[in-house]
Structure 1
Amino acid sequence: MDYQVHTLPNGIRLLYKHAATNITHTCFVINAGARDEQPHKDGLAHFIEHLLFKQTERRNTNQILNRLELVGADLNAYTTKEYTCIHASLRKQHLERTLDLFEDIIFHSTFPEEELIKERSVILDEIASYQDQPEEAIQDDFEGMLFKGHALSNNILGTEESVNQLNREDIAGFIASTYNTHEMVFAVIGDYDFNKLIKLAEKYLGVVPANTSAKVRQKPGKPKGELLRFQKPISQTHGVIGSLAYDSAHQHKSGLLLVNNLLGGMGMSSRLNLEIREKHGIAYTIESNYTPLTDTGIFSIYFGTDEEKAAKAMKLIHKELKKLRDNKLGALQLHQAKQKFIGQIALAEENRLSLIISMAKSLVDFNCIDTLQQVFDKINIVTAEQILEITNEVFDEASLLTLLFEPKD
């Protein structure tokens, strides 16, 4: 098998993938994110992620931060719409030290009021920093409009108003209702005996009380296509064009990942980059992205250009989308697109931290993980006819939402 899994009595799962290396990458993935926040509690999941590093029943902030840094290990965390992830990279012999810390901060944080006050200030600075970066802010605003009225519209960082109102009661309620042990995965990629890892997990995680509270996530509705413009104190026009896309379990997910890579994915040879940057020289950055979620997905194209070139850039983007909707890929084009994408995926496996986090999320969502060969097989069976179907569904002109940040006059 490509990986091994052991489930503890409380539902927490241990995921292990062997790698012959002295460096270990590990993560703790919790199926709780911004979309699980109650109304007017925007930013709560991210707020908790920050506070996990502040104080526990056994450690203060300095002891938490020094626990791994003193042995040269790297500790970090992040929050998404659907997950909270704590991760670390370390030398092989320090895994028990790391798991001890993971268990402590996730299950024994005390969230003292003085730390809440300090961390609010830090997050407000983080929000201000993002607002100063239009290429970042426009992505958040685009998703807010794409999912308007739904919990997925929540900005992961929250707003100044919502963050200032978050309190310990909110934190306790969110953890009780979303930190479900059967939706947690402790994952390791490294060189260990799996039975010894099981004993380690039982020692530190087996004592955690089970929490199996039911979590209900509502699927978002489909927005109407429209063009929205906002003036900002910026020097360039920034734009996002996109729509809802397939969820992570959809039969066409692999096909859309392939199309996205062909259109505006990694590398300089994507269609959008060749047309808009290389041929016409009207945008430094032009890229497309597809993010599948558990019950929906996000497809988007981002570009930044001078104000007077924005209309032409949008026209060229729509031209490329129309080509994909109207013209079936030839056999050679399809083969080349598959080979390029498969090669990029194979290279990405070298980033072992990203790999083990991705595997842990897959275990949370599907209770299984595709091997690299299974991923390749799913890409290889995509047909030109399926790509036509995908592009006509996802790139439909009538459903595309366009958001522009334009310089003030």
Structure 2
Amino acid sequence: MARFNRAVLSNGLTIIHEERDVPVTTVMMGVQYGAMYESEEEKGISHFMEHLCFKGTEKRTTEEVAKELESKGGELNAFTSEEMTAYHVRLPSKHLEIAIDVIGDIFFNPIFPLEDVEREGNVICEEIKMYRDNPRAHSALMLKNDLYEKPFGMSILGTESTVKAMTQSQLLEKHRAIYTPENSVLCVVGSNSFGDVLKFAKKYTNMSRVGKKLNSLNVIKKSSSGSEKRHGLLQANLCLGAHFPELTSDKRYAAEVFNAILGEGMSSRLFMEVREKEGLVYGVKSVLDLGRNYGYLEIWAGCDPPNKDKVIEIAKREFANMKNLTKAELKVAKEQVISKAIINSEGSDAEAIELINEEFATKAENLYDFEDNVNSVTLEDVQDLAKDAKFSEFWVGP
């Protein structure tokens, strides 16, 4: 059983902590603000701020931020999702203090130098081009665009035009309004005591800043399809998607089981039918993307263009055939989902991500009920997800 603790500092910052015996610690700070909070005109601003938070603070240069943590063996990184932006480092537990100090500093006190705003804007535009040039990544993004209206249906990175239009003052104003203690969570997973976590959190993150707690924009569903022809490709990269239960829904656990059976791994129905029996693809799988007020299942495959329609037909057939799931298959799938979660929790960084995701969606402690919730899924729960699905499609190919 995990040793879990929580507290709220006087400034409103939530602290969540999982104590474990391995002397490796992940310190993660997250703000409940991501791409789904952005208007179409400001699309990409969360991700832009994430990049700039590493570009120096009031007391550290860019180089000092990296050196102070990497000299202690630290692995420093960050990510932006639809619902949050987070910064984290994994390092030996004995270096907890410097980890909370530096992560707290880049989180609350970045200065966004003008030259870095201009330079990093160009870097992000290159990142946008990189994903656009990747047919697999581009087809997945365009599928999301087929499933949801703008601005949610747009890329987390924004567009080249929205990124280039952002100014230093705009970015700083947004950061100071959003990156407040009340909007944020400090998550620590490692062998440190909760007393030490609180001591260093109070020392390095107990700042006061009044901002505003934002509501995410409305997520408007749709179902459409599209395609894009490109010269020089040998495969059709196709994505199919259907709306699925949100992270706040009790049906989310049935969705996990459904996805495991349909398209996770070499024993999945999609892999066995499309690759092993028909030999139509090298890779085929399904993945879930679930948030507080959105959810969808994506099926991806790459195939010879003349086989595209047959692959789509089989994928839809196997999705529909989930309504014929047996109790024996359900039992195996539950064990698969639970076991994968256990393996994933081995790393302190992966566990911190799960805890902070759960905290922003519901409550971090709910993560420890995952096994019970999966085991409570019934045959009918999974079968019902196969009924009346309306698919969106997008493919990129020659």
Provide TM-score, normalisation by structure 2. 0.95
2:112 matched residue in structure 1: 111
CA RMSD of aligned residues (A): 1.6
Query: 1 CA distance for matches of 2:177 and 2:90?
Result: 30
AA aligned opposite 2:365: I
Q: Deviations over 1:87-119 (max 9, x none)?
A: 111011211111111121111111111111111
Could you tell which deviates more after superposition, 235-244 or 37-46?
Answer: 37-46
1:324 matched residue in structure 2: 322
Query: 1 CA distance for matches of 2:259 and 2:46?
Result: 29
Query: 2 CA distance for matches of 1:132 and 1:252?
Result: 36
2:227 matched residue in structure 1: 229
Query: 2 CA distance for matches of 1:319 and 1:274?
Result: 13
Give the match's secondary structure for 2:308: helix
Query: 2 CA distance for matches of 1:313 and 1:33?
Result: 35
Q: Deviations over 1:262-316 (max 9, x none)?
A: 1002x21011011111111111111111121111212111111111111111111
Written as runs of structure 1 = structure 2, the 5 A alignment for 1:54-203 is 54-149=55-150, 151-203=151-203
Give the match's secondary structure for 2:226: strand
After TM superposition, which residue ranges in structure 1, 4 or more long, deviate above 3 angstroms?
none
Contact 1:183 1:364 in 2 (8 A): no
Contact 1:184 1:364 in 2 (8 A): no
Task: Measure how far apart 1:212 and its partner are.
Answer: 5.0
Query: 2 CA distance for matches of 1:189 and 1:276?
Result: 41
Identity %: 26
AA aligned opposite 1:288: S
AA aligned opposite 1:377: D
Unaligned runs of 5+ in 1: none
Out of 371, 383, 386, the residue aligned to residue 388 of structure 1 is 383
Task: Measure how far apart 1:204 and its partner are.
Answer: 0.8
1:338 matched residue in structure 2: 334
Contact 1:276 1:283 in 2 (8 A): yes
Would you say 1:277 and 2:268 are equivalent positions?
A: no
Q: Deviations over 1:11-35 (max 9, x none)?
A: 1111111111221112111111111
Would you say 1:406 and 2:384 are equivalent positions?
A: no
2:256 matched residue in structure 1: 257
Query: 2 CA distance for matches of 1:378 and 1:48?
Result: 36
2:365 matched residue in structure 1: 369
Written as runs of structure 1 = structure 2, the 5 A alignment for 1:268-307 is 268-307=266-305
Q: Deviations over 1:59-95 (max 9, x none)?
A: 1111112111122211011111111010111011211
Query: 2 CA distance for matches of 1:180 and 1:279?
Result: 54
AA aligned opposite 2:338: I
1:359 matched residue in structure 2: 355
Contact 2:101 2:204 in 1 (8 A): yes
Contact 1:44 1:171 in 2 (8 A): yes
**Do the aligned partners of residues 211 and 362 (structure 1) sit closer, same or farther apart at CA in structure 2, a change above 3 Å counting?**
farther
Provide TM-score, normalisation by structure 1. 0.93
Contact 1:29 1:361 in 2 (8 A): no
AA aligned opposite 2:315: I
1:310 matched residue in structure 2: 308
Query: 1 CA distance for matches of 2:24 and 2:96?
Result: 10
Give the match's secondary structure for 2:121: helix
Written as runs of structure 1 = structure 2, the 5 A alignment for 1:15-34 is 15-34=16-35
Q: Deviations over 1:94-149 (max 9, x none)?
A: 11111111121111111111111111121122112112211112112221232123
Contact 1:77 1:86 in 2 (8 A): yes
Contact 1:177 1:215 in 2 (8 A): no
Contact 1:79 1:85 in 2 (8 A): yes
Unaligned runs of 5+ in 2: none
Query: 2 CA distance for matches of 1:274 and 1:314?
Result: 15
Contact 1:10 1:209 in 2 (8 A): yes
Out of 365, 370, 374, the residue aligned to residue 379 of structure 1 is 374
Query: 2 CA distance for matches of 1:57 and 1:199?
Result: 22
Contact 1:33 1:45 in 2 (8 A): yes
Q: Deviations over 1:313-370 (max 9, x none)?
A: 1111011012113x2x222121111122222222222122111111022122223422
AA aligned opposite 1:127: I
Query: 1 CA distance for matches of 2:367 and 2:80?
Result: 26
Contact 2:96 2:192 in 1 (8 A): no
Query: 2 CA distance for matches of 1:290 and 1:283?
Result: 21
AA aligned opposite 2:397: E
Give the match's secondary structure for 1:370: helix
Task: Measure how far apart 1:188 and its partner are.
Answer: 1.0
